[in-house]
């Protein structure tokens, strides 16, 4: 399959006072179009840093990041904002919905600025919220709010979907349903999904597993036959 993402010798250093913190050090990996990738590692390993650099929310200190043929590590602030807005859909642990907009408005608000956006109602339908589109975030459960957040990311019709601990605030069954939704969306839309988690039990649901340890890649493995989330217990 065609390569979509490439990290080449990426390093990230944060400087707090005099002491530099090397969050990433010599990170190399590639991700193909349509892949479902799980990034695993302990707390502080560098998972979110990878995701934030990939999403254009943070910049690498050195190295190259190429997404869809575009070297995002060379982009200036304006182009990087464009990249983030058009090409990347984000799903976070705490849904980050706008409280005074209903579900439909939350999705429309994010999508309509994107050139190739999809119909907000269709996507809310797809994530199982057909009858809740007029509800405000406070009227929805955590799992439903996360579905709105996923719909908001997908409706932009981005190149890739980045999820940072998307089930971190949800109970077991709801978290599993959200993972299933992400797996189904990946299968149906062929959009690349990169999901960061510390829960190594979900590794069998991925095409590719990138393990991160102390800012370095520990291993990259492929599942020849990935499993449906329903069949995984943890």
Ligand X SMILES: Nc1ncnc2c1ncn2[C@@H]1O[C@H](COP(=O)(O)OP(=O)(O)OP(=O)(O)O)[C@@H](O)[C@H]1O
Site for ligand X contains 46 (CB under 6 A): yes
Residue 105 belongs to what H/E stretch? helix 103-111
Is residue 71 within 8 A of residue 21, CB to CB? The reply is no
* d(C-alpha 231, C-alpha 70), whole Å: 37
* d(C-alpha 120, C-alpha 105), whole Å: 9
- Could you tell me the two tokens for 205? 């649901």
Site for ligand X contains 63 (CB under 6 A): no
Site for ligand X contains 49 (CB under 6 A): yes
- Min separation Cβ 12 and ligand X, Å: 7
**Which residues in 194-233 contact ligand X (CB under 6 A)?**
198
Site for ligand X contains 14 (CB under 6 A): yes
Residue in 2, 16, 99, 131 binding ligand X, rule: CB under 6 A: 16
Strands 160-164 and 88-91: parallel
Site for ligand X contains 47 (CB under 6 A): yes
Piece in contact with ligand X (CB under 6 A), picked from 42-50, 108-116, 145-153, 216-224: 42-50
- Residue position matching structure tokens 């370095």: 216
- Could you tell me the two tokens for 20? 């530099």
Size of the site for ligand X (CB under 6 A): 13
Site for ligand X contains 170 (CB under 6 A): no
Footprint on this chain of ligand X (rule: CB under 6 A):
14, 16, 21, 23, 41, 43-49, 198
């Amino acid at each position: 399959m065609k390569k979509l993402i490439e990290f080449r010798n990426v390093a990230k250093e944060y400087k707090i006072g005099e002491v530099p913190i090397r969050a990433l050090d010599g990170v190399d990996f590639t991700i193909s179009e349509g892949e479902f990738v799980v990034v695993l590692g302990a707390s502080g390993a560098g998972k979110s840093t990878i995701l934030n650099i990939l999403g254009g929310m943070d910049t690498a200190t050195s190295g190259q990041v190429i997404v869809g043929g575009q070297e995002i590590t060379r982009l200036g602030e304006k182009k990087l904002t464009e990249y983030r807005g058009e090409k990347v859909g984000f799903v976070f642990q705490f849904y980050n919905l706008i409280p005074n907009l209903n579900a439909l408005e939350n999705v429309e608000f994010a999508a309509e600025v994107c050139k190739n956006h999809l119909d907000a109602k269709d996507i809310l339908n797809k994530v199982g919220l057909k009858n809740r589109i007029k509800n405000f975030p406070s009227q929805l459960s955590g799992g439903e709010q996360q579905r709105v957040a996923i719909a908001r990311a997908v409706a932009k019709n981005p190149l890739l979907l980045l999820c940072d601990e998307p089930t971190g605030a949800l109970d077991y069954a709801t978290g599993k349903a959200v993972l299933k939704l992400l797996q189904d969306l990946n299968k149906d839309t062929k959009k690349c999904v990169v999901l960061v988690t510390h829960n190594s039990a979900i590794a069998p649901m991925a095409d590719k597993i990138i393990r991160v340890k102390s800012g370095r890649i520990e291993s990259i493995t492929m599942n020849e036959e990935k499993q449906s989330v329903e069949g995984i217990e943890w």
